[in-house]
Structure 1
Amino acid sequence: MFSYTLQKTATDCGARAGQIETAHGVIQTPIFMPVGTLGTVKGVHQRELAEDIRAQIILGNTYHLYLRPGLDVLEGAGGLHAFNGWKKPILTDSGGYQVYSLSGQRKITEEGVTFRSHIDGSKHFFSPERAIDIQRSIGADIIMAFDECPPYPCDYRYAKDSMHMTHRWLKRCMAQMGATSGRYGYEQTLFPIVQGSTYPDLRRASAETIAEAGQPGNAIGGLSVGEPAEDMYETTELVCGILPKEKPRYLMGVGTPDNILECIALGVDMFDCVLPTRNARHGMLYTAQGVINIKNAKWKEDFSPIDEHTPCFASQQYSKAYVRHLMHTKELLGPQIASLHNLSFYLWLVGEARKHILEGDFLPWKNQMVKQMQRRL
């Protein structure tokens, strides 16, 4: 089962509150999805994800899970939910972005992409059909269509050709979804992806094509790949104005807290990004007052909690001075606490956004919060 209910739209911007129902549970939007590339969010137990961070859905990655642990292991376990013990919804990226990031290690043709593993150099091939079959085996609730993510910057001709190939691949993905069924007895849902780089006419054409495909949800890809934030916002606003209002919109790979708030205001419902955990491991902590570099000397004797606003136990139980000490002594607990805090903050932030949308004062709250998120403490 998959359904989306639009519960409220802001009157002064495009922000929306809604609810997605899947076979593995309900997702209240707007939502941030922690990234668990290899079947795990780095350094975080599933119980912590569910109870402390309050995640409602996580991501897995087709490319990485295909390579390790491999489909035989995942199918033998009964899918990723059974393998990693996560009982709530899972979304899988098709692997298109990872293949794109391999650069010289891959070759793209109309049929698909030939690439070499970053692990051992072995040769592999993904077609749109193969990407669907792999995601069927992984058992994700939401499956992404196989696409090409063009680099930024790229010339107009490349972006246009890439976009049209992504559209042709989508037809093949949809046909494969229709010709196959899930292995584990529950519905899996396909989201197509809007491409077109930062060219407005291409993005408009792609959004129209994706809307016409009539899938239960839609995604916006090819952003947060190096373009200026202003271009990302302009592209997102254009695409959200075309994609159907009655279906969820997923902006892939975005981003910082202020990026997320601005894109919620433009009409996006779903987000994912590696930043909260990647930056946590380097000592960057996001708080309601601004961003902290916990390694700085100013926190050496600051015994106040990391952030009283963030509901996670780690955010309120541990002091800035203690986390700084752990980081400087390279204790494993330091990055773990930082990851728990950052992910909890992201989920708190989108939860607050949802609350303010429902209460009717999202825009002024967002404007104030963006200013705070851009502060360096």
Structure 2
Amino acid sequence: MEFQLQATDALSNARAGLITTDHGRIETPVFMPVGTVGSVKAVHQHELRDDVNAQIILGNTYHLYLRPGTEILRQAGGLHKFIGWERPILTDSGGFQVFSLSSNRKLKEEGAYFRSHIDGSKHLFTPENVVDIERIIGADIMMALDECPPGTAEYDYAKKSLGLTMRWLQRGWKRYKETEGLYGYRQAYFPIVQGCTYPDLRRQAAREVAELGADGNAIGGLAVGEPAEVMYDMIDIVNEILPADRPRYLMGVGTPANILEAIERGVDMMDCVMPTRNGRNGMLFTRHGVMNMRNKKWADDFSPLQEDGPSYVDRAYSKAYVRHLFASQEILGMQIASIHNLAFYLWLTREARAHILAGDFKQWKAEMLECVTRKL
């Protein structure tokens, strides 16, 4: 994987760059739709490609390991071929999913013991076997196994957790360096900076991660309960240390406002389930504000969903019709909302990139922030 830094905003740390993988190029900053089990919920791959214009999507090691399983993925020739997606893929290591199974997992030095949420069967994730699983999945970008503690964790727990994560990282990095991809193309490996909301722990982790010299680096353990302003402070602290010539990936974030703030602080890559999850519940994000499509106010509004929107669904369907679909609990409403939200998120990061290149990102961001936080 290669990264080219193309421009930096004069009044902030916002950056525009280009990531090159064997499955294609990614213009940054970029939002990455989440396809946890090899499927972005309610959205066809051709819609992701042709309408949403997703440059890269995510899969999840935990979920794909459990179902369909590594043997099926190996027989298929990797996740790209299994799901019919020819563009880049990133896989989360499953650390966050194991963290969310707090009642069904136990963390030890050797790795994370957990029970499947599907059938209760016992499993062990180690830094080494997670690399092996991600090799079988075949993602262009693989993530290191980490522990993701809650944002409200006490300092002693956060410090102990970080120590475990960094020891796991050294083991995973070693396994990555001594193995190769299975399908004839290169795979990158991103370490993850943890440390909760403690500046000294974040700095320590960022320095250790930077020393590895990996193709890119991630910031994890944010947007898990801490105030937004604290999250922004942690991003600032970490990005002062992470190398500027490698992409920076903020994991699991967030709202349109979160994305704009992260970009201003030098983040290049982001992902979140919010556009599809909230979309399936009737919440639409637009450049003019947020719409709740279950609201009766839209019942007789026959104007387009968003006349100036980036997706075909924005002009093909009226607000009244989409509101009717949600009131009727029709699956089509969820599909339309998911496509709309993803297309908007991708539009937002493309626009951010354009304004970074044009040199007026700071002013545009301030204006856009007022717009996207309105309730319509």
- Counterpart position of 2:211: 212
State the partner residue of 1:297. Answer: 296
Give the aligned length: 376
> Which runs of structure 2 are paired with 1:134-173 in the superposition (5 Å)?
134-173=133-172
Tell me what 1:65 maps to: 64
**2-structure distance, mates of 1:308, 1:54:** 19
Q: Structure 1 counterpart of 2:357, which letter?
A: L
2:324 aligned partner: 325
Question: Which 4+ stretches in 1 moved above 6 angstroms?
Answer: none
AA in 2 matched with 1:139: G
In structure 2, C-alpha distance between the alignment counterparts of 1:315 and 1:82, rounded to whole Å:
31
3-state DSSP of counterpart to 2:150: coil
- Provide the C-alpha distance between the structure 2 equivalents of 1:305 and 1:199, rounded to a whole number of angstroms: 46
> 1:252-331 residue pairs with structure 2 within 5 A?
252-331=251-330
Query: Any idea what SS the aligned residue of 2:321 has?
Result: helix
Gaps of 5+ in 1: none
The within-5 A match list for 1:241-252 is 241-252=240-251
* Mapped contact 2:31–2:270 kept (Cα < 8 A): yes
- Does the alignment pair 1:110 with 2:109? yes
**Match in the other structure for 1:30:** 29
Q: Are the aligned partners of 1:33 and 1:273 in contact in 2 as well (CA < 8 Å)? A: yes
What is the Cα deviation at residue 239 of structure 1? 0.6
Distance 1:347 1:152 in 2: 27
Q: CA deviation at 1:155?
A: 0.9
Q: Which runs of 5+ in 2 are unaligned?
A: none
The superposition leaves residues 177-214 of structure 1 with CA deviations (integer Å, 9 ceiling, x where unpaired) of 11211110100000000000000011011111111111
Q: CA deviation at 1:300?
A: 0.8
Whole-angstrom CA distance in 1 between matches of 2:50 and 2:22:
20
What letter matches 1:211 in structure 2?
A: A
3-state SS of the aligned residue for 1:4? strand
Give how far 1:309 is off: 2.9
Residues of 2 paired with 1:355 and 1:301: CA distance?
Answer: 37
User: Deviations for 1:10-67, whole angstroms, at most 9, x for unmatched residues?
Assistant: 0100000000000100000000000000000001111000000000000000000000
Q: Aligned-pair distance for 1:305?
A: 1.4
Q: Counterpart of 1:45?
A: 44
SS at match of 1:196: coil
1:114 is paired with a residue whose SS is strand
Work out whether residues 151 and 223 of structure 2, in 8 Å CA contact, stay in contact via their aligned partners in 1.
no
**Displacement of 1:331:** 1.2
Asked whether the 8 Å contact 1:288–1:307 carries over to 2, the reply is no
User: Corresponding residue for 1:16?
Assistant: 15
Q: TM-score, normalised by structure 2?
A: 0.99
Once the two structures are superposed, the pairs formed by residues 169-188 of structure 1 within 5 Å of their partners are 169-188=168-187
